[in-house]
Amino acid sequence: MEFTQIQEPNVQKPIVIAAMQDMGNVGSIVVDFINDSLKTKQFRTAQSQYPTYVIDKGGYVDVPKEIWEYRFSEDLIIFGGGTGQPQNNQELHSLCQDVIDISKKYSAKFIYTLGGFHTNRVLNKNPKTFVTTTSQDLTKQMQNMGIETTPQKSLITGFNGLILGFAKQNDIHGIGMYGELNEPKIPQYRAAISIIKTLEKLTYRKLGNTSSLELMAQEIDKSFEC
């Protein structure tokens, strides 16, 4: 993994939001929404050195560049988004460690991550967001706020789970937020909206008007009605 520092972000003890593409593209949808809404600025990039595919452009191939961005706004650092995750453990661990290093460098106290929560429950266009945390005390705080915690034991794979383990090992508070979805292969805009609302409640800050995401969800609804 190759890291490039572009500038120094003007942040003090920021909240870190770090998530990558996963089921239903939830991680990327939320990260992209926050970056667009808050007009964040890029300050660092991470680029994979091991592409897992090539693009056939009709008679010749091109090697894609998989790049993930660190961006910032007022006392907020956002990492991730993109169109995929690292395909080997070495790069995945390298990314997680870099997020931890950046969090420590700027004295971040909290890392939030997010993704999809696959369920068979009929959602009726109103998915819930479940949270899990890096400590029992923090989980109790979430429950006292009326926020539902993950209902059963499970494995959380990929960056959006592993980053919580890295945070715990480095004594940084971590909270994972996972929005319910039924169809992992379809972009889940309402799961993203649910997570954004939960994130706003936890961080005491507005992240933007989600009506554009609801319109995208409605367009997907229409495509399945045809």
Mean pLDDT of 60-83: 90
User: pLDDT (tens digit, 9 = 90+) per residue, 31-62?
Assistant: 999 999 999 999 999 998 877 678 898 999 98
Say how many domains are in the chain.
1
Written in H, E and C, the secondary structure of 96-111 is HHHHHHHHHHCCCCEE
Q: What pLDDT score does 66 carry?
A: 84
Cα 48 to the center of its chain, rounded Å? 18
DSSP string, 129-164: EEEEESSHHHHHHHHHTTPPBPSS-----SHHHHHH
| Domain carrying residue 157 | 2-225
Q: What is the mean pLDDT of residues 185-207?
A: 95
What is the spatial distance between Cα 154 and Cα 75, in angstroms, rounded to a whole number?
A: 33
CATH number (domain holding residue 116) = 3.40.50.10900
Write the DSSP symbol of residue 75.
Answer: T
Does the pTM of the predicted model rise above 0.75? yes
Residue 146 is predicted with a pLDDT of: 92
- pLDDT, mean of residues 119-133: 91
